[in-house]
Structure 1
Amino acid sequence: MMAAGSPSGIVALGYRRSLIELRNNLGSLPGHLMFPVIAVVTISIVRHSDALAGRGASFGNYALIGILLINTLLSGVMGAASTVMQERMDGTLLRSSCLPHGTTAYAISKVLSHFQLAVTAFAAALPLLWLVTGRTALSPVSTAALLVVAPAGLLSLLPLAVVVGATLRSPRQLSLASISVMLIGAASGAFHPIAGSGGLTQAGAMTLPTFWVSASLRNALLPESSHSGDPSDLTVLLGGLIVPLIWLVIGISLARRALRRASRCSGGRRGSARHKACEGGRRARRTSPQNPRAAGARARHQAATRRRRRSTTQTRQRSIAR
């Protein structure tokens, strides 16, 4: 039996919470699928209009990969960030931090729940892409790269989404974070090949998990002639495990610190101000003239005060007379 304070016990607690949240959020799955389905159908109609010179593929094929990648990132990363921000404001994060190892379990539950939801949407849209591109024959290494690298790349970015949700002060700032996600996807070559770019650009793109995710998708879904400049399947498999692992370790350490800081801020000055406001509201309701119960209690209190004063005055007069 796992101890409650052990790392395995904390992970198990976070996993159980993630399953509960996944069951509650399954109703939003059609919303995650609507955009990629419409985009895939639209681009599949016009994808042969602009072929990449000498590669046998079109920009539409690259756009299909980019749309699937960006939709998965937005549904997972931005969903986790918005959920953490909302629960930080309504006090859920503060209540979780009061439990033993609550902050760590909270971070694990958010990462795993949104990871499962995004992977479900990704797996549901993947057969449609296979039908559009017509690529059915896959090597074992390419299949392993698709099944391992894509989930690993998404999982490595979700702790950073928790950091974003715990750091931003206003929901309006989430739009800037969504633009950053799109820029990361574009810089990693999700929408266009970067094989002809400079060496520095390619080296910078290879440090992003999204580069390896998009490379695994292209190797699995597009014809071999269209991704001739991409790394081989074995390189994608190895790089798609090492780079996301580094991002995952950094993201988890930053997420724990950001959540603890956010919970301290919620329980500090803002929490005391909220407590004073609540106490002021209760006091105002107790003393409100429109409250019949408060008026009756106030009348009884005044009558008891008059009786005490009268009794004190009579006792003082008797002592003087004696």
Structure 2
Amino acid sequence: MNPTLHAARLGLSRGWIEFKQQLTTPQDLGFTVVSTVAFAVVLYFQRDATLPGTDLPLAAATLPSLLGLLIPVNGLLGAVGSLSVEREDGTLLRAKALPQGMIGYLVGRIVSLSFSTVASLVLMLVAGLFFVPGLFGIGLGNWLTIAWLTVLGLLSALPLGAVIGSLAGSPQTAAGMSMLAIGGLTAVSGVFYPITALAGWLQALAHVFPLYWLGLGMRSALLPDAAAAAEIGGSWRPVETTLVLLAWAVAGLVLAPPILRRMARRESGSAMEQRRHRAMQRVT
């Protein structure tokens, strides 16, 4: 069997096993549960309000933004955090010793984090069924739109998280870099307010990154067609959304493995022990 395909199959199996373990481990469930519940609480308090000057429920306008934001938050932060920690505890060093081990590791991490993110999205949509009027009747095509946006969003966010995690020198640095990236992109992406309110150069910057397109795609699936009038060009732009997300997904999947392999080549038992010693010094 082709070594790369064999490593990918092992990664699929590992990712599924890790996801099942997360379901029984309170520490692993903590972030997912807290973030999902926090978003659901926002919908609860907005359930009876409407957007000023319209009859559109505020919760209905907020839900697409929360779904679009949940994908990179869970995917990118999860990949950054797990990779930086497993770099210090020796997991990556052990993966390096196996044939095509970094391919298997990356596939396993993508699978486990994808399952946990999809679980969060499902919980959010279930909450939306209670707090967002009309969500039951959006139609099969709109549900399929949410599904393919989720897949492309995860494939664009997870490899990027792996790259950030591999470049960071410590879990603390990785967390800071990823939070800075998410915070900056959220500020200019228009997920919580019309992007047309921003300066032109900020709109252009937001168009480069996946978060804007995830928010736009989710709004196209969950909001009435008339709401597109508030978007740039008065359109949901589904073709552009697909192409940008697909480009990020392909770029991440192409670049992440060699970057991880390059990082793994620099790994050694002595380097891992030095990082562990520095971490212990920070604690004490």
**TM-score after normalising by structure 2:** 0.81
What is the rounded CA distance, in whole Å, between the counterparts of 2:62 and 2:172 in structure 1?
Answer: 28
- 1:88·1:262 contact (CA, 8 Å) conserved in 2? no
Query: Pick from 12, 16, 22: which aligns with 2:9?
Result: 12
Bigger Rg, structure 1 or 2: 1
Range 207-216 or range 7-16, more displaced? 7-16
Extract unaligned runs of 5+ from structure 2. Answer: 278-284
Which residue in the other structure is 1:240 paired with?
A: 241
Q: Is the 8 Å Cα contact of residues 64 and 218 (structure 2) preserved in structure 1?
A: yes
* 1:21 and 2:22 matched: no
- Whichever residue aligns with residue 171 of structure 1, its letter is P
Instruction: Give the aligned residue type for 1:73.
Output: P
Structure 2 match to 1:318: none
SS at match of 1:266: coil
CA RMSD of aligned residues (A): 2.9
Secondary structure class of the residue paired with 1:100: coil
- Distance in 2 between residues matched to 1:161 and 1:186, nearest whole Å: 19
SS in structure 2 of the partner of residue 88 of structure 1? helix
**3-state SS of paired residue (2:114):** helix
Cα deviation, residue 228, structure 1:
2.6
- Offset at 1:161? 0.6
Q: In structure 2, what is the equivalent of residue 156 of structure 1? A: 156
1:111 aligns with 2:110: yes
Match of 1:317 in 2: none
Q: Where does residue 193 of structure 2 map in the other structure?
A: 192
- Are the equivalent residues in 2 in contact too, given 1:265–1:271 (CA < 8 A)? no
1:47-62 correspondence to structure 2 within 5 Å = 51-52=51-52, 54-57=53-56, 61-62=60-61
Question: How many residues of Structure 1 are paired with residues of Structure 2 in the alignment?
Answer: 269
Alignment partners' CA distance in 2, 1:46 and 1:64: 10
Cα separation, partners in 2 of 1:239 and 1:116, compared to 1, 3 Å? farther
Equivalent residue for 2:259?
258
Identical residues among aligned pairs (%):
27
Question: Greater RCO between the two (CA within 8 Å, min separation 6)?
Answer: 2
Q: What is the SS of the residue equivalent to 1:134?
A: coil
Could you tell me how far 1:139 is from its partner in structure 2? 4.6
- Which residue pairs with 2:281 in the alignment? none
Q: Could you tell me how far apart the structure 1 residues matched to 2:40 and 2:185 are?
A: 21
Go from structure 1 to structure 2 and tell me whether the alpha carbon gap of 1:89 and 1:34 turns closer, same or farther (over 3 Å shift): closer
Once the two structures are superposed, the pairs formed by residues 266-285 of structure 1 within 5 Å of their partners are 266-267=267-268, 270=271
